[in-house]
Amino acid sequence: MPYINIKITREGATKEQKAQLIAGATRLLVDVLGKNPATTVVVIDEVDTDNWGVAGEQITERRKQGK
Amino acid sequence: MPYINIKITREGATKEQKAQLIAGATRLLVDVLGKNPATTVVVIDEVDTDNWGVAGEQITERRKQGK
Amino acid sequence: MPYINIKITREGATKEQKAQLIAGATRLLVDVLGKNPATTVVVIDEVDTDNWGVAGEQITERRKQGK
Amino acid sequence: MPYINIKITREGATKEQKAQLIAGATRLLVDVLGKNPATTVVVIDEVDTDNWGVAGEQITERRKQGK
Amino acid sequence: MPYINIKITREGATKEQKAQLIAGATRLLVDVLGKNPATTVVVIDEVDTDNWGVAGEQITERRKQGK
Amino acid sequence: MPYINIKITREGATKEQKAQLIAGATRLLVDVLGKNPATTVVVIDEVDTDNWGVAGEQITERRKQGK
């Protein structure tokens, strides 16, 4: 029954990469806690770089500075 | 003051259906807990089927298999 | 597959009331969108009144003022 | 290490306003709790007015009524 | 910069198991998307079985029925 | 109508500090976006240091190492 939410910046993750995140997160919960994969839910949120900040700065700006 | 977040896959929910979800979730909190509807907030997130997984599989793939 | 998160202040909701919230939210998604109840997940978060604010004020203080 | 999530309706917030939300929320955690800004994360979600409800009504409808 | 939130029922996950979830989820984001582990955040929420529902039923009740 | 969720580790934030977070976050949304404070909601989640990870490590362990 676990629920896993993965938030990443929207910077071109492919459908295949998302499939890997879903499979890997589900396996993690099965391996570590013995959870039932059939009811394990993974939701990926892709967030615009204008809408994500670290250290008080937009990721958009940090990318321009090579961070 | 309750806050309700409903996450569904983005598969064509209409404006009218979303209005029903908002009205119904608000009524539920009023009926069960006597909450004040005026400050009850409902937020619906629609998530791409590539970004939602169950049983380790993307919903996009599960839909193709008729699941 | 819907996921519903209900956040309320921790002010004595009973186990039976929580069961009603879970049943009611699940039914709502079935009725409005035809979702499969078997994979509908509801998570209730109870939040201390010191940790919830409206109008810039802690609920703890608003309760003292009869709001 | 704090994580701050700000949800607003999608009604034209500019890149500069989002930068101000990110800077301001980060400063708040530094000022009040002495948190390290370098690991403070802010994520802004913009939600369609059809998908946000208050008092059981869609914001889209409330806006039409001048609320 | 990814943020991963893992919600599980509160049923005795140990400190060591939580450490494994944190390490494993971080590694997943590094392996699949090349994310920087230094700014990858994982938050685990443990939720009472009275507060989690599947199929319209509290987990507390489902556990009694051997589900 | 904004909704702000602040997640911090549970390390002794006082009621007064939480009141400052609530007031400050509300003011930020009023100042930057002209939002109505009366319907601005702030929820603070305090998370055990065993349940929060950065760089693949539990905060509990990082604190022992003086990080």
The CATH number of the domain holding residue D17 is: 3.30.429.10
Taking the CA of residue B39 and the nearest CA in chain F, the distance in Å comes to 7
Q: How confident is the model at residue C1 (pLDDT cuts 50, 70, 90)?
A: confident
**Looking at chain F from residue 34 to 53, which residues have their Cβ under 8 Å from any Cβ of chain E?**
45, 47, 50-53
Segments forming the whole domain that contains residue B15? 3-64
Q: Residue B57's pLDDT is what?
A: 97
> C-alpha D64: how far from its chain's center?
22
Where are any strands of DSSP class E within chain F? 3-9, 41-47, 52-54, 57-58
Q: Cβ distance B44 to B6 under 8 Å?
A: yes
Q: Residue D66's pLDDT is what?
A: 86
Q: Residue D15's pLDDT is what?
A: 98
Taking the CA of residue E52 and the nearest CA in chain F, the distance in Å comes to 18
Cross-chain Cβ contact B43/D55 below 8 Å: no
For E66, the 3-state DSSP assignment is coil
Which candidate in E33, E47, E51, E54 is best for mutational testing of the A interface (most A CBs within 10 A)? E33
pLDDT tens sequence across B14-45: 999 999 999 999 999 999 999 999 989 999 99
Number of structural domains found in chain F:
1
Q: Residue F66's pLDDT is what?
A: 86
Q: What is the mean pLDDT of each run of 10 residues along chain E (67 residues)?
A: 96 97 98 95 98 97 91
Active site residue D37: no
SS (H, E, C) B15-46: HHHHHHHHHHHHHHHHHHHCCCHHHCEEEEEE
Task: Give me the mean pLDDT over the A38-58 stretch.
Answer: 97
This prediction's pTM: 0.97
Q: Which residue numbers of A are catalytic?
A: 2
pLDDT tens sequence across F25-38: 999 999 999 999 99
Collect all residues of chain E within an 8 Å Cβ-Cβ radius of residue C15: 50, 58, 60
Taking the CA of residue B54 and the nearest CA in chain A, the distance in Å comes to 5
Task: Give me the mean pLDDT over the F29-55 stretch.
Answer: 97
Cross-chain Cβ contact B37/D52 below 8 Å: no
